[in-house]
Amino acid sequence: MDIKDLKNADLKEWLQYWIDLATPDQVVICDGSQAQYNEICNMMVASGAFIKMKWPLNSYFARSDKSDVARVEERTFICANKKEDAGPTNYWKDPAEMKAEFAELFKGAMVGRTLYVIPFSMGHPDSPIAKYGIELTDSPYVVVNMCIMTRVSTEILKRVDDGREFVKCVHSVGYPLDGDKADIPWPSAPVEKKYITHFPETREIISYGSGYGGNALLGKKCFALRIASVQARDEGWMAEHMLILKLTSPEGEVKYVAAAFPSACGKTNLAMMEPTIPGWKVETIGDDIAWMKFGEDGQLYAINPEAGFFGVAPGTSMKSNPNAMRTINRGNTIFTNCAMTPEGGVWWEDHDSKPEFLVDWTRRPWTPAKGTKAAHPNARFTTPAAQCPVIAPEWEAPEGVPISAFLFGGRRRTVVPLVNEAMNWEHGVFMGATMASEMTAAALGGAGQLRFDPFAMLPFCGYHMGDYFKHWLNIGKHKGAKLPKIFYVNWFRRGEDGHFLWPGFGDNSRVLKWIFGRCNGTAKAKATAIGNLPEAGSLDLNGLNIPEADLKALLEVDCKGWKDVLPQIEAHFEKFGAKLPAEMNKQLADLKARLG
């Protein structure tokens, strides 16, 4: 397929504008084929951008520039027409001014490079919940990662050409090869020239200067959350930073659970969990993002809009997440900013192996005595979801899966119990709006300073978060809705001496079993000031040896601790000003009254 064959005037005009502005040497339409993927990977090996690994099979290793290693929040902007629509949790730029700046930045930005046209679908292309996008990029690294993370095909381009709505995504590494300038393995622009921008009204994403992760793979957080959250608000559905898992009881009954946790709170681990209680099974629908729409039966149906996992490597092991390790070890994986073993394999902190010598992510020799990290803390693996050994057979079902429960959580060493069921939908929204983790500097045994991350969407909501809370409340008013139950979980509670009160990992299945029972009305709970907690004996603790004092602390209401954090919740809510829904202030007042 060639651009000249397109018949959609708006599509052709958009493509031609960027081609004329960026002036690439050539334009290539990506077809999502294995042959094209292999060709681009081989080209990157030849240029030094990739190292072909000996194991896992058909896998590649990349190192980024030291200045381009993660999301750049302070260079990430919501370019809404009105500043107040971006809200207090986002950086804002005037859309007209930003477009004018891009007209200069992109002028000749792709000289000496190839402009790749990536037509992609978020979700199964035939799903009523799916959305389409086209990303223009001069980064072959982005192309191969997008081929894993999304569904790339010329069929999507044909459907867009036939008039299907799509999100316009434009990306450049900002490193033209003009004059005698030689290419480098990881081209990027200085931090002050990096921009990751979102235009919610026109459904556009424009990114310049970074080649890393969500800054460049524009189907990821940029589209799947920041732009999709605006689409979801306008169209009456939900785009959430949530894993989706399938939970099957020993009797074969199935429920689907979606869960929102901030980073470093075990989201991927939960999505791929190996339960420790006999007869229960967890399978993965998705590990990061859930798009949900109401069906005609009033049920919320969810799809995972992604086709791969873009996981943080450090901390991933056969102990923490054996199924993630099995997935990447099946091959077809791209590793970024990990360390390399002398045998040509990969390594990162908390890996199962204990090497004596490595080449670290900065290309320097490394031994344990060096005292530095061998892999970058944000080192990543990009791997196909289809090869996960516990991927659910229906993970790509176009109609989605019905959600029975939402879980919220954070990393709280104090105050918050192991599991707490919301009293009703509004109380559940309050739980999500006050999601928080304790800062690492929190005093041992103290309430600690909280970092609030509402619904785990703090960096990802594409509009004013007060309006986002209102959207959640409106979802609860959907006519005929069979709403999921809402729970708050905390795997990270600690004792005064710092030890974890709960074993976590596969034993979190015990909490899922109680939640399953609550959805069925069979598991027992006691009403408390903060919500419904498990009654004594209602959690399956068979085979666990948890001291009575620890279990008591996990399942009690720390009234003093809750009273101590109320002022922090008040200060958190004040940020949203007049746009904070009245229901949230009422929930806060009711909580105060119940605590006495």
Angle 34-47/140-149 helices, nearest 10 degrees? 140
Residue with tokens 């970074």: 210
Question: For residue 412, which of 466, 454, 450 has the smallest C-alpha distance?
Answer: 450
- CA–CA separation, 45 vs 48, rounded Å? 5
CA 572, 577, 580: angle at the middle one, nearest 5? 75
Which stretches does DSSP call E strand in 209-330? Answer: 238-240, 243-248, 254-260, 281-286, 290-294, 300-303, 308-312
Amino acid 38 reads N
Question: For residue 31, which of 39, 22, 19, 23 has the smallest C-alpha distance?
Answer: 39
> Checking DSSP bridges between strand 204-208 and strand 166-172, what pairing results, if any?
parallel
Q: Is 338 a catalytic residue?
A: no
- Please count the CA atoms within 13 angstroms of the CA of 283 that sit on its side-chain side: 17
- CA–CA separation, 373 vs 333, rounded Å? 22
Amino acid 306 reads E
> Checking DSSP bridges between strand 204-208 and strand 26-29, what pairing results, if any?
unpaired
Residues 6+ apart with CB under 8 A from 545: none
Amino acid 272 reads M
- CA–CA separation, 62 vs 521, rounded Å? 50
- CA–CA separation, 207 vs 196, rounded Å? 4
Kindly report the backbone phi and psi dihedral angles of residue 468, in degrees, each rounded to the nearest multiple of 5, phi listed first.
Answer: -65, -45
Distances (CA, A) of 12 to 73, 154, 171, 218: 32, 15, 18, 20
Catalytic residue among 265, 338, 388, 461, which? Answer: 265
Three-state secondary structure string covering 372-399: CCCCCCCCEEEEEHHHCCCECCCCCCCC
- CA–CA separation, 288 vs 13, rounded Å? 34
Positions marked active-site = 265
